[in-house]
C-alpha cells in the first residue's frame, strides 16, 4: 500500500468520526457560544476554562445539542496545564482537528493607574495563553500534517482604544505571533491551517466581571453583536481556508481607518473612548472581578446588553459569500456590457441610410 493510499484512508477515517475541537475560555461568552455551535454539528468538544460552574454548564450545553463534552479545568496562563489538557483530550476524545484560542482577561483603567501585576496577568492569559494553546495544538497537528488553529482576535489588534492598554497590547501581540508562525508553516510546506477571526464588540458576561477603575459600569462599544454571530463565523472559518476573517462592519472600519487615518482616530477616541465604554450605571462598591481567579456561578454566553445587540451581520454574510458574489457581479457587468453593445449596433443600423443596387450592381442611395 503506497503513501497516497494510506493518506486517503486516514482522511476517510477522520471523516467517519466526529470532529475533535478544543475551545479555551469555553465556560462563558464567545467561547461558550462557539462550543454550542460545534456541538450542533455533532463535534466532540474539549472545554478549557478556570471556572468549575461555567465548565459544567458548557458541558451540559454540548451534550444537550448532540455533541460530546470533555471539560478540563485549565488556566491557560500555565503552559503545563495547557499541555496536560491537550494530552487528556487526545487520549479521551481522539486526535485534535481544530483548536480555538479564545480565553481572555482585561482591566478597564487608565494606563498610569495600572499595576505591573495587572499588565503581567492580562499578558499571560490574553497573549501567552494563545501561544501555549497554539504550540500544544501544533505539536500534535504538524506530525499529522492536518488541523486548524483559530485565534479569536479583535479589531483592537489593529486599532487600540483608551482604558484597555493591556488588552489591546495583548491582541497586537497575538497578531504578530500568528503572522510570524504562519510564514514558518508555509516555509515548511505544512498543511496545518492558521487563521484569525477578528471581532467587533460582543454582548458577553465579561463586562460584569472585568476589573475596572472607572466610576460607571463597563459596556462594549456599540454597535454590539450577540456571541452567536461570532460562533457561526468561527465555525465557518474553521472549515474554509481564509488567512483572516473579520466579523461586522465596525471591525472592517477600525482596520481600514487605522491604516488611512490613524492620527484622526487618536483624537476621536481620546474624545469619546471613555464615555463609550461605560453605561450610566455606577459601579457597585466591592464589585468582584475574574482577573486572577474565576467567579462562582454559570454566566452563559450572553451578557446584559441583549436589548441592544445584533443577531445578524450582513458584512459577515457578504464576507463568507464574496466568491460567488464577485462572480455574479462580473456576470451582471458582462451582461450589461453586451446589452449596451447590442443596443448601440441597433441604433447604428437604424440611423444608417438604406442602400439599393441597380441592375449593374452599383449602389444607389434611396
Residues with catalytic roles: 167
d(CA 122, CA 120) in angstroms, rounded, equals 6
CA pair distance 7, 245, nearest whole angstrom? 29
CA–CA distance, 32 with 47 (Å, rounded to integer): 9
d(CA 248, CA 220): 14
Question: What is the DSSP-derived secondary structure letter of residue 107?
Answer: E
Which of 125, 122, 82 is CA-nearest to residue 103?
A: 125
Label the pairing between strands 224-225 and 201-202: parallel
CA 95, chain centre distance (Å) = 23
Residues 163, 107 contacting (CB under 8 angstroms): no
Gyration radius from the chain CA atoms: 27
Among residues 139, 65, 40, 143, the alpha carbon closest in space to that of 99 is found at 139
How far is it, in rounded angstroms, from Cα 276 to Cα 305? Answer: 14
Interaxial angle between packed helices 165-187 and 116-123, expressed in degrees from 0 to 180 and rounded to the nearest 10: 30
Q: Which long-range contacts (CB under 8 A, 24 or more apart) does 181-186 make?
A: 181/134, 182/243
Q: What b/e sequence results for 351-361 when a residue is b if at least 16 CB atoms lie within 10 Å of its CB, and e otherwise? A: eeeeeeeeeee
Amino acid at each position: 500500500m503506497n503513501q497516497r493510499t494510506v493518506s486517503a484512508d486516514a482522511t476517510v477515517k477522520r471523516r467517519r468520526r466526529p470532529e475533535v475541537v478544543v475551545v479555551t475560555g469555553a465556560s462563558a461568552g464567545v467561547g461558550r457560544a462557539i462550543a454550542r455551535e460545534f456541538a450542533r454539528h455533532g463535534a466532540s468538544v474539549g472545554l478549557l476554562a478556570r471556572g468549575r460552574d461555567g465548565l459544567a454548564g458548557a458541558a451540559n450545553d454540548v451534550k444537550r445539542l448532540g455533541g460530546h463534552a470533555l471539560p478540563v479545568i485549565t488556566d491557560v496562563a500555565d503552559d503545563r496545564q495547557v499541555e496536560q489538557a491537550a494530552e487528556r483530550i487526545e487520549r479521551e476524545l481522539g486526535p485534535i482537528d481544530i483548536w480555538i484560542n479564545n480565553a481572555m482577561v482585561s482591566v478597564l483603567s487608565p494606563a498610569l493607574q495600572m499595576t505591573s501585576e495587572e499588565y503581567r496577568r492580562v499578558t499571560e492569559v490574553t497573549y501567552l495563553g494563545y501561544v501555549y494553546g497554539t504550540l500544544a495544538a501544533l505539536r500534535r497537528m504538524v506530525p499529522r500534517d492536518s488541523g486548524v488553529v483559530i485565534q479569536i482576535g479583535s479589531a483592537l489588534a489593529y486599532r487600540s482604544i483608551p482604558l484597555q492598554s493591556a488588552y489591546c497590547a495583548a491582541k497586537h501581540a497575538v497578531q504578530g505571533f500568528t503572522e510570524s508562525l504562519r510564514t514558518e508553516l508555509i516555509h515548511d510546506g505544512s498543511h496545518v491551517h492558521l487563521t484569525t477571526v477578528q471581532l467587533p464588540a460582543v454582548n458577553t458576561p465579561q463586562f460584569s466581571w472585568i476589573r475596572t477603575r472607572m466610576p460607571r459600569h463597563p459596556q462594549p462599544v456599540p454597535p454590539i453583536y450577540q456571541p452567536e454571530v461570532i460562533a457561526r463565523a468561527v465555525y465557518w472559518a474553521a472549515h474554509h481556508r481564509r488567512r483572516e476573517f473579520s466579523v461586522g462592519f465596525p471591525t472592517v472600519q477600525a482596520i481600514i481607518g487605522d491604516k488611512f487615518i490613524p492620527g484622526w482616530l487618536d483624537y476621536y477616541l481620546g474624545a469619546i473612548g471613555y464615555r463609550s465604554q461605560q453605561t450610566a450605571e455606577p459601579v457597585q462598591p466591592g464589585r468582584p472581578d475574574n482577573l486572577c481567579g474565576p467567579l462562582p456561578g454559570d454566566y452563559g454566553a450572553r451578557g446584559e446588553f441583549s436589548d441592544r445587540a445584533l443577531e445578524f451581520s450582513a458584512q459577515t454574510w457578504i464576507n463568507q459569500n464574496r466568491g460567488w458574489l464577485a462572480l455574479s457581479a462580473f456576470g451582471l457587468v458582462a451582461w450589461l456590457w453586451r446589452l449596451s453593445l447590442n443596443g448601440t449596433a441597433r441604433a447604428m443600423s437604424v440611423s444608417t441610410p438604406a442602400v439599393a443596387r441597380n441592375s449593374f450592381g452599383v449602389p444607389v442611395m434611396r
